[in-house]
Amino acid sequence: MQITFSQAVSTGPVRLFQLTVVAMVLLVLVFDGMDAQALGLVVPSIIAEWGVDRAEFGTSLTASLLGAGIGALLGGWLGDRFGRVNMLFASALFFGVTTMASSQAETMGTLAALRLLGGLGFGAAGPNGLALASEWTPERFRTYVIALLSVGTPAGATVAAGIAPFLLEDFGWRGLFAIFGGASILIGFLALLLVRETPSWLLAKGREDAANRTARRIFGQEIELLPEPAGSTGAPGAAGKRIGLFHRDHTRLTLGVAVAFSACTAIVYGVTLWGVVLFTSRGFTQAQAIGVIFWAGLMSVAGALAGGPVVRILGSRRTMAACSVITFAAVAILFLIVEHLSAAPDGAALAAVYVLAGLVGGVVSLGISTIYAMMALGYPVSCRSTGIGLGMLLGRIGGIAMALSGGYLLNWGGTSVLPFFGVMAACALAVSSSAWIIDRHIAPARV
């Protein structure tokens, strides 16, 4: 039987191997998020040990994001050329090793250099994992799988925040880095062992025998795979004109993704990287501040998971507009509460901060999940990893800016947190502009 790989995937039942691919990609992204979040959770501990100012951490936090941006584009490009499985393994190995090495850092310069290198691995995992899992997934479940995988990084940050107090108490910040890094390396080897490259990628590289062997092993049928229409502007298997990533047809998608993703990451990293520093400076204990970050991360997981059904109901344009309005309101109210704290928060204030931080985390992650879906379904098969990687690179601009400037914004305000929250509110409004820039929105499902 002659059939394309995308047709074979979409017409048959979901097999254990396909579920394994999604699970392994999700695990790699979870550990990616844990390692990326680690430094933001231990800043107070390092300040106490090294006696440095909080603003000095802007360089180290920015280095990780800068490396992740470069790694997303470079890793996506390498994945399209040398295999998504190979790059998924390489990314986990790389960020695991550098996270372990960070446990031995003695200066801010060394820590910044290691976080920059680790960022290359953080960034490369996303585009390769998303492309790999989406191609192994039937079309009818693809949007839901993308939403699930977008949970990976925030879920990792949530897990890290949840276990960090216990690890810090028993092993210190150095032990936390060593444990996170070592576990990431093990997960990388497990992914290499269990996951296989998609036959469509093998066919595109001229490896017909390998593609057919893989397909027959997974689908259990004597099938002969036909090549996918490379570079199609439609879904995999659709016939269309062949265009590259930088063709003008992709300009509005790429620009809109850059604006929305950049604004969302600025808000996310404002909360996750500077949240502990912000809240401890307003009277929270370190455990309370980490608890807020943990709750925000937990809600971000729920928000990302909601991406699939919400986009099916509202479509991506309305979803992005709603995310913008709700996030702006939550940031404004959170500012009013934190601004007027003059001592340790009472129970009501602490509960309000938890709720609002969770709302910000959940709604912004819903927006990010929607952006991932638009990229994965908007870019053609032949440049999907590179397209997702480019979007993630452009999206890192806001996160890098917030990581670099967060400490200075907090210092600039003196006793006020207005500069910090003002920037986050502006970013929330910026998300709405992408709803009209992007010309490849996902339409609401017809009931």
pLDDT of residue 237: 36
Which residue, among 44, 61, 41, has the nearest Cα to 53 in the 3D structure?
Answer: 44
Say if CB 356 and CB 333 are below 8 A apart.
yes
Residue, of 389 and 89, whose pLDDT is higher: 89
Which position has the token pair 């949007």? 143
Q: CA angle, 34 as apex, 326 and 256 as ends, to 5°?
A: 40
**CB 31, CB 156: distance < 8 Å:** yes
Rounded CA-CA distance 46/207 in Å is 51
The pLDDT value recorded for residue 245 is 67
pLDDT in tens, 203-226: 877 888 888 888 888 887 777 777
pLDDT of 47 reads 87
pLDDT at residue 446 in the model: 67
Q: What angle do CA 55, 58, 64 make, to 5 degrees?
A: 160
Return d(Cα 273, Cα 350) in angstroms, integer.
19
Residue 235 host element (H or E):
none
List alpha helices for 195-285, DSSP H: 199-204, 208-219, 251-280
Q: What is the DSSP string of 166-191?
A: HHHHHHHHHHHHHHHHHHHHHHHHHH
Least confident of 136-145, 178-187, 228-237, 354-363: 228-237
H helices within 55-151, ranges in order? 57-82, 84-102, 108-136, 142-149
Strand partners, 226: 4
**Inter-residue contact 103 to 74 (CB < 8 Å):** no
pLDDT band at 380 (very low <50, low <70, confident <90, very high): confident
CB-CB contact of 84 with 385 (8 Å): yes
231: pLDDT strictly greater than 50: no
**pLDDT for the residue numbered 361:** 93
Q: pLDDT category, 138, cuts 50, 70, 90? A: confident
Residue of higher predicted confidence among 248 and 412: 412
How far apart, in whole angstroms, are the C-alpha atoms of residue 66 and residue 401? 10
In the predicted structure, residue 235 carries a pLDDT above the cut 50 = no
Residues comprising the chain, all counted: 447
- Cα of 198 vs its chain's centroid, Å: 22
pLDDT, one tens digit per residue, over 276-327 is: 888 888 888 888 898 898 899 889 888 988 988 898 889 889 999 999 999 9
Structural domains of the chain ordered from first start: 2-437 (1.20.1250.20)
Tell me the C-alpha distance between 170 and 167, whole Å: 5
Q: What is the pLDDT of residue 228?
A: 61
- Chain segment 13-47, per-residue pLDDT in tens: 889 999 999 999 999 999 998 988 888 888 888 88
pLDDT digits (tens, 9 = 90+) for 93-112: 999 999 999 999 988 889 99
Q: What is the pLDDT of residue 233?
A: 38
Per-residue pLDDT, 23: 95
DSSP state of 83: -
The pLDDT of residue 227 is above 60: yes
pTM of the entire predicted model: 0.74
357: burial class by Cβ within 10 Å (0-12, 13-18, 19+)?
A: buried
Helix (H) / strand (E) element for 226: namely strand 224-226
**260: exposed, middle or buried (C-beta count within 10 Å: 0-12, 13-18, 19+)?**
buried
- Examine the pLDDT at 386 and tell me if it is beyond 70: yes
- Of the pLDDT bands very low, low, confident and very high (cuts 50, 70, 90), residue 3 is confident
Q: What is the pLDDT of residue 323?
A: 95
Question: Lowest mean pLDDT: which of 26-35, 413-422, 432-441?
Answer: 432-441
158-168 pLDDT, tens digit per residue, is: 889 889 989 99
323's CB contacts (< 8 A; 6+ apart) are: 363, 364, 366, 367, 370, 431
Q: Are 49 and 212 in contact (CB under 8 A)?
A: no
- Most confidently predicted of 203-207, 216-220, 391-395, 428-432: 428-432
Taking residues 141-162, report their average pLDDT.
84
Per-chain mean pLDDT for the chain = 86
Identify the pLDDT of residue 6.
Answer: 77
